[in-house]
Amino acid sequence: MTETILVPTAAKKEEARKTPKKHLFLRLMRYVVKYWYVFVVSISMIVASGYLRTIPSQMTRLVLNALTPPVNLSNVSNILTTAVIAILGASMISSIMNFVQRYIQTYIAQKVVYDLRNNLFNALIQKSFSFYDRNRVGDIVSRLTSDADRVQMMSSMWVNEIASLVSQFAIWIVILVSINPSMTMLCMVCIPPILVLMSRYSKLSAPIFEGQRRIMSAINTFLQQNIIGTRIVRIFRQEDTEKGRFMRINDEFFSLQLRMVKIRAKYPGLNTMIMGLTTALIYWLGGRLIIQTHGTPMEFKWGDLTIFVQGMMSLMAPLRFVGMIVNNYNEAMAASARIFEVLDAEPDVKDKPDAVPLPPIKGEVVFENVSFGYDPNKPVLKNISLTVKQGETVAILGPTGSGKSTLLYLIPRFYDVTSGRITIDGYDVRDVQLKSLREQIGIALQDIFLFSATIKENIKYGRPDATDDMVIEAAKMAQIHDFISSLPEGYNTVIGERGITLSGGQKQRLTIARALLKDPRILIFDDTTSFVDTETEHRIQQAMEALLTGRTAFIVTQRVSTIKSASKIIVLQTGEIVESGTHEELLDQNGIYATIYKTQFMPREEILARRVEGGAK
Ligand code: ADP
Ligand code: MG
């Protein structure tokens, strides 16, 4: 895995070729154009402060020119006073403008990235489950964070650097041409070599930047997986392998950084050399001009020469950033390509254009010859037909990987069936609006996920408008109220990373409370906590009864009592229903269920029963 990340695959290159940068740029600019009025202010400030920054050089020129013989001393002293006041004033005003302009600029950049992140998050939250099957968490997270940051950097860079570069250039050209046009033309020959140098620099460093990004994302993903999977790593004693894998990624990052440093170190040196040459050239040309024009009305004075030297330096300094701007542009385009890729990924599961809202349902669910595969060529479920009437409970049994969870996922349309159809009260689930469908289904999945928030917030998750009384009522029915009340902060106790850790049984009862509060007609329950202590087992049992009454329920569970009292039991094997019926019917058939029951469930039931008796005495 780590090896492929660093080398752009053929497919990725192909993809990059298909999305032209210009198109991306325009699309990105749509986020920026919204704030055009702020831009106008910002750019005028850049231009104004750019002009103000030339004042000291202009004043130096005036003073030096006034000092050229024949000197008029009272005139010189007047010019000196003016110069001092002008320089002080200009630097004060331009520093204030600079501050305001930077503030405005950051404001826009943050606004752009704020909009972008919001859009991205909205898109992520609507993506199909299959999107998350295909993409790695670290990769998605890095699109929201570092890619968005890169775009933000660019949107501030662009206005700042380009506007100041262009205005600086224009202002200086105007000033220099007004002093001596032909001298200006001669000096311009120094510009092309700098530009060539800079574009070479950006060509060399661009792939390294891209590599750095890939590796950062790889490091992110790697860390996330290792932190999430830390228990597994320990259990299988894979610490050393993981260390090795991480070191390889880290090494790659290190050597890329070194390459970057080498390139960086070489170029400023060349730059300084070009600057030196330019200065020498101006002194040589300017010196000759002073001698040639001496005493003529078109006299080129010392002050003119100094302003040429300063002007050329100020002209060339920003050129050094051209390379950086080009690089930034490329990086930002690559980043926005990754962002737009997420924005554009069409959900596989989405509302049809003519989807109708599902009216309040009674809860009859029918599977009509349903087949499904995550990969359509590898069916996971085959020809499932099943009718569940309003209020019935179906218990689903089968070995790991037989498709139990998958079958549950199809009802709220986490995935769409490959063939056949699923109806609720006669409505094909694909014909109704997703929101109205999922609103009426209570779902508790295998990996119980609780947010790092208070217990109350977690229970209210599916129904934010619920009152505290309703929450308590649900918690009572779920047999978790006593436990919550025993906590010092009660319902306001924070769960998860920043708060308390709950046991499997407690988490499960919280999930049940959450489902009860939502009061759905259809319930989907993928149960993991199969082995808990007797007391908890008993409490979960009671909670489940509260949950199941009056609802159509699909339950994957190991809980004997729930299975026995189910209206229907189905046994899945490699994606097919191999047996179905009530507990008694299936015992009579003496097939797979009967065997499972006798070998696994019955002994456990007896043990449990004995324990309860023993405890009662
Ligand atoms: P069960 O819940 O009975 O253990 P699942 O429904 O989770 O079985 O899985 C059925 C089959 O589908 C397994 O072979 C599993 O590897 C595969 N599968 C499950 N989830 C995915 C997924 N998101 N993408 C691809 N294959 C999956
Ligand atoms: Mg499962």
Q: What is the per-residue pLDDT across 337-375, written as a single tens digit (0 to 9) for each?
A: 888 888 888 878 888 899 999 999 999 999 999 999 998
Task: Let me know how many helices (H) and strands (E) the chain has, helices first.
Answer: 26, 10
CA 600 from chain centre, in angstroms, equals 46
For residues 334 and 332, give the distance between their C-alpha atoms in angstroms, rounded to a whole number.
5
Chain mean pLDDT for the chain: 83
Q: How far is the CA of 381 from the centre of ligand 1 (A)?
A: 10
For residues 353 and 431, give the distance between their C-alpha atoms in angstroms, rounded to a whole number.
9
Mutation test of ligand 1: which of 371, 372, 380 has the most ligand atoms closer than 8 Å to its C-beta? 380
Q: How far is the CA of 404 from the centre of ligand 2 (A)?
A: 6
Question: pLDDT at position 391, please?
Answer: 92
Q: How far is the CA of 423 from the centre of ligand 1 (A)?
A: 22
Ligand 1 atom at shortest distance from the alpha carbon of 408: 6
Instruction: Give the whole-number percent of the chain exceeding pLDDT 70.
Output: 91
The whole-number average pLDDT for the span 54-76 is 88
Ligand 1 atom at shortest distance from the alpha carbon of 575: 10
The whole-number average pLDDT for the span 57-71 is 87
Question: pLDDT at position 7, please?
Answer: 38
Give DSSP secondary structure letters for 41-86. Answer: HHHHHHHHHHHHTTHHHHHHHHHHHHTSSSP-HHHHHHHHHHHHHH
The residue whose CA is least distant from atom 16 of ligand 1 is 401
The whole-number average pLDDT for the span 37-62 is 90
**Residue 414 dihedral angles phi and psi, to the nearest 5°:** -65, -30
Residues in contact with ligand 1 by the CB-under-6-Å rule are 133, 374, 380, 398, 400-406
Ligand 1 atom at shortest distance from the alpha carbon of 403: 6
The residue whose CA is least distant from atom 25 of ligand 1 is 374
Instruction: Give the whole-number percent of the chain exceeding pLDDT 90.
Output: 29
Q: How far is the CA of 535 from the centre of ligand 2 (A)?
A: 25
The whole-number average pLDDT for the span 295-319 is 85
Q: How far is the CA of 554 from the centre of ligand 1 (A)?
A: 17
What 3-state class would DSSP assign to 519? Answer: coil
Ligand 1 atom at shortest distance from the alpha carbon of 526: 2
Beta pairing class for 441-444 and 522-526: parallel
The residue whose CA is least distant from atom 20 of ligand 1 is 406
The residue whose CA is least distant from atom 14 of ligand 1 is 401
Q: Residues 311, 172: contact at Cβ < 8 Å?
A: yes
Lowest mean pLDDT among 3-12, 445-454, 465-474: 3-12
Q: Residues 323, 199: contact at Cβ < 8 Å?
A: yes
Question: pLDDT at position 437, please?
Answer: 93
Distance separating the N- and C-terminal Cα atoms of the chain: 59
